[in-house]
Amino acid sequence: MRSFVPSEGYSEAKGMPVLRDLGTALVNGGAGFLGSHLCERLLLRGHSVICLDNFSTGRRANVEHLASNARFRIIEHDVRQPFDIETSLIFNFASPASPPDYQRDPVGTLLTNVLGAVNTLDCARKTGAIVVQSSTSEVYGDPTQSPQRESYCGNVNPIGPRACYDEGKRSAETLFFDYHRTYGVDIRVGRIFNTYGPRMRLDDGRVVSNFIVQALRNADLTIYGDGQQTRSFCYVDDLVEGFLRFSAAGSACHGPINLGNPGEFTVRRLAEIIRDLTNSRSRIVHLPAVVDDPRQRRPDISRAMTELEWQPRIELEAGLARTVEYFDGVLAGTARAEAV
């Protein structure tokens, strides 16, 4: 049984020599927003890293700065097709995540989540790797309980426009737990609540990137619906830290575990905070509500606090300030990822 190894602090020096080889970690979706931060942290921690991606919503630019590292490799591949890679740790982060992205090709989204889970689990079964799934708060749908605990089974419309993603992620969780019960695969299922930070795309379509880019351009901030719906926003470094701890937790710890920041904000309040932070002249405008938009979302993170000794450290304003700085650089054409 693996012992609990708390991951390193955020202050670990970049470029520090690696003192021990922790084996190869495979990151499906490693060229995406979250996946690229994860690749970076895994390299710093002492892993060799393989980034597997089909570059549908991710970008080579997100991992370009890692290319000169001898322990980093990119494989262009679609998780809907089987793969066989020698590895001891797999993170399955391959799936479009922004509603406009995942609704553009709903069948492709569902298949990415279902076939991607099967192919990832088959790879883990062959290699004996620990396999970590990026699940989502969307498994709770439009929740009738708040905060959402892991024991809540959710309220998902199975035939609506969000279902390709929600039901895809729910099916993936089912596959993870069935592979664990049937074949003894060592799984970890983390349910991510809205996470933001540098390397989101300008045109990603999610609320944080939309509002920041609109505010920096002094364009209207577009609230869908009345703006009273709530979300809980987690900064990317906190989220990645949670996943690293989860991957290193003992093999009795399979989850599901909520990973997110319990601070809850209305979308209206988020717009006001971002407008203030950017000193923007933007107006706040209301557009029609989107179908099946969850009214509230807030994680109960007691399980993560107890089992992983994890909780977010970065407050919304501080995380938004870093993200604003990033988008400012992108709009000015000066943003650059740092080499690891």
Q: Is 164 in the site for ligand UDP (CB under 6 A)?
A: no
Distance CA 200, CA 261 (A): 18
Residue 267 DSSP symbol = H
- Candidate list 31, 44, 74, 175; residue touching ligand NAD; CB under 6 A: 31
Residue 93 binds which one of ligand NAD, ligand UDP, none, with CB within 5 to 8 A depending on kind? Answer: ligand NAD
Residue 39 near residue 91, CB atoms below 8 Å: no
* Active-site residue, 165 included: yes
E strands, the chain, in order: 24-28, 48-53, 72-76, 89-92, 130-136, 187-192, 195-196, 221-224, 230-232, 234-235, 257-259, 264-266, 284-287
* CA distances from residue 108 to 28, 99, 101, 114, 157 in whole angstroms, order as listed: 16, 13, 11, 10, 19
Ranges within 181-240 binding ligand NAD (CB under 6 A) = 192, 194-195
Q: Is 170 in the site for ligand UDP (CB under 6 A)?
A: no
- Candidate list 134, 214, 247, 261; residue touching ligand NAD; CB under 6 A: 134
Residue 239 near residue 301, CB atoms below 8 Å: no
Write the Ramachandran bin of 23: left for phi over 0, alpha for psi from -120 to 50, otherwise beta: left
Q: Is 136 in the site for ligand NAD (CB under 6 A)?
A: yes
Q: Is 99 in the site for ligand NAD (CB under 6 A)?
A: no
Ranges within 49-88 binding ligand NAD (CB under 6 A) = 53-58, 78-80
- Candidate list 117, 267, 304, 308; residue touching ligand UDP; CB under 6 A: 267
Nearer to ligand NAD, 57 or 323 (CB): 57
Distance CA 112, CA 132 (A): 16
Q: In angstroms, give the least distance from the CB of 239 to ligand NAD.
A: 8
Nearer to ligand NAD, 134 or 282 (CB): 134
Residues constituting the chain = 340
Distance CA 89, CA 91 (A): 7
Nearer to ligand NAD, 133 or 214 (CB): 133
Residue 160 DSSP symbol = S
Q: Is 164 in the site for ligand NAD (CB under 6 A)?
A: no
Q: Of the listed 10, 140, 152, 165, which one is catalytic?
A: 165
Query: Which of 13-21, 217-225, 237-245, 314-322 is the region at the interface with ligand UDP (rule: CB under 6 A)?
Result: 217-225
Distance CA 31, CA 152 (A): 32
- How many residues line the site for ligand UDP (CB under 6 A)? 13
Residue 175 near residue 121, CB atoms below 8 Å: yes
Pick from 79, 98, 80, 81: which is nearest to 90 by CA? 79
Residue 58 binds which one of ligand UDP, ligand NAD, none, with CB within 5 to 8 A depending on kind? Answer: ligand NAD
Number of neighbouring beta carbons within 10 Å of residue 1: 5
Q: Is 35 in the site for ligand NAD (CB under 6 A)?
A: yes
* CA distances from residue 167 to 19, 109, 113 in whole angstroms, order as listed: 42, 10, 9
Q: Is 314 in the site for ligand UDP (CB under 6 A)?
A: no
Nearer to ligand NAD, 116 or 227 (CB): 116
Nearer to ligand UDP, 22 or 284 (CB): 284
Q: Is 258 in the site for ligand UDP (CB under 6 A)?
A: no
Site residues (CB under 6 A) for ligand UDP?
99, 194, 206-207, 210, 222-224, 229, 231, 267, 290, 293
Site residues (CB under 6 A) for ligand NAD?
29, 31-35, 53-58, 78-80, 93-97, 101, 112, 116, 134, 136, 192, 194-195
**Annotated active-site positions, please?**
165
